[in-house]
Every structure is written in structure tokens, then in C-alpha cells.
Amino acid sequence: MVEVPRAFRDMPRWWTDAAGRAWVDELPQLVAAQCARWRLESDGAAMHGSNALVVPVRRGGQRFALRLAPPGDDVEAVAEALRVWRGHGVVDLIDVDLATRALLLDRLDRLDRRRSLAALPPVDAVAELAEIARRLAVPVPTSVRTTAAIASEEAERFRRERATGAGRSPHLDAAIACAQDLASGGDGPLGVNGDLHADQVLAGPAGWTVVDPVLLRGDLEYDLGRVLWTRGDEASDDDTVTRLFDVFVERAGVPRERARRWVVTRSMSYLLWGLDHGLTEDPVRCRRLLDVFA
């Protein structure tokens, strides 16, 4: 039986998700059942991100990664992202089982699980993420969800927050204005990774490889806020945070003001989510970005 890492059991997303906690408890049996379906054998310790478990597996002499997602995750969308971006520096999709929310991914021996972009200094990592964002900016189906639609939803969410009088951020009015502006013009034809950060990019024989992208369409600067809050603790002062922002804008070739608005919008969104779910560290990071960019 595969052992579920304690760090995965302790992820914040399960704190208020009873169905998710039950799924985590059942994972050893679910992994064993999926291995039987696909004639796989476990081949190492399980890994994880924020929501999915990934198990090294093999079939004969071939090595793969088995990814299992929790109830409610849109596995079909993950599979579509991997298909759309095949050949553009993302991990290859080998097979999918939507009923069990399982993906079989490219051979692990082609990727270095011990070396992600997080190992690079912040400036270098941000520059590489900007290049990855440009590489993934290819035409995608018009059915793909747009960043403009997300901005419109966030603007409405922020207005509801203001109406409650909770007062959890002095930058709420600025975030509403930014999101309203982004709701127009962010529906272009190019692909956007909606989960852009250094831990999701591993070293491979052909260069840096994205392992768990989220397919959106529109502004490729959409997730710059996440890029910054995941490396912000390594920035000693606000000028360094601004420098990381500048590096991404320059290397990705995106509009500076629109990028600033996305940082404000995404930081406010995650701040409110984090407070609602009892997080203590990430809200501090989001408030810092809001102080700098709002």
C-alpha cells in the first residue's frame, strides 16, 4: 500500500472539506485499484502538490507517474490542458480515467523530481516563468474559460465583501476597480497557465517542464500575483518585490499596468480565500503585495 505523506494530509484545502478528508483516507486503496486497472506497480514514495497525489509507477520497463485528484476537481480540464500544450514544455499525458479522476503522466526518469524552478534564485526563477508564460501563449479553443470572465467574477465577489462591511482589507476599492478593468479585453485567443509557480516546473532533458498546468485563455500576466507571493519571502524589501515584478513584465512582454492590476486582483482574491479558510502565512504575503501594488 502507498503511504500518504503527512504533509499532504495537513494541506489547508482539507481543513473545511469533509469529502476531501475522506478521499485522502481512502487514497491507499484508490491507488491500488487504479494500478490494477492500468497494470501498474508502485515504484517509489508518493509526492503531492496542493491537492493531487502523484505516485511513481512502472509497467514492465516503462516508468510513469500516476496522478489522483480529489472529488470536485475538473480532471477533464487538466487533461485538456496537457493535450493543448503537448510539445510546448509540459509533461506528456499517457492516459486518463475520468471516472476515477486519474491521469497517467510521462515517465518520471525524464524529469528531475528533486530540482524545480524553486531551487533558482528568485530573479532567475521569475525570468524563467515569464519565458514559460510566453511559450504557452499559443492559440487555444474558444471554449476555454477566459481571464476576463474570472476578473468579472472577482469584481462581483469583492463588491459583496465590501457590502458586508467586514473591512478585512483597506485595498478593497482598488481591487474592485482593477478587476472591473480586467473584465474587459482579457478574452484573447492565447493560452494562459492559471497555476504558474516555480514548484510546478521541473528540470527535464529538454529544459524546464511544467507538470500541472491549468488552462485558461486571455492575459498571460494573469497569475503574476502567485509568482510573487510564492517567492516574496525571499525579497528583503519592497523594492526587490517590485524588481521581480519588472523582470516578469519585461521578459514576458506584457502591459505593465495590466500586470499590476492582475497582481492586485489575484492577491485580494487569495487574501479573502485564505482568511476564510484559516490560513495565517499566505494572507500576510498577499497584504504585502497589496501594499506595494494597490
What positions carry a catalytic annotation?
Answer: 195
DSSP alpha helices (H): ranges in 193-234? 224-231
* Positive or negative: CA dihedral 104, 220, 232, 267: negative
Give residues with Cβ within 8 angstroms of 182, minimum separation 6. 147, 148, 151, 219, 258, 261, 262, 265
DSSP state of 212: S
The Cα–Cα gap between 105 and 113 comes to 13
The Cα–Cα gap between 265 and 202 comes to 28
- Crossing angle of helices 122-135 and 238-252, in 10° steps, is 30
DSSP alpha helices (H): ranges in the chain? 6-9, 18-38, 75-84, 122-135, 147-164, 172-182, 224-231, 238-252, 256-276, 282-293
The Cα–Cα gap between 294 and 288 comes to 10
Q: Are 171 and 281 in contact (CB under 8 A)?
A: no
Other C-beta atoms lying within 10 Å of the C-beta of residue 5: 14
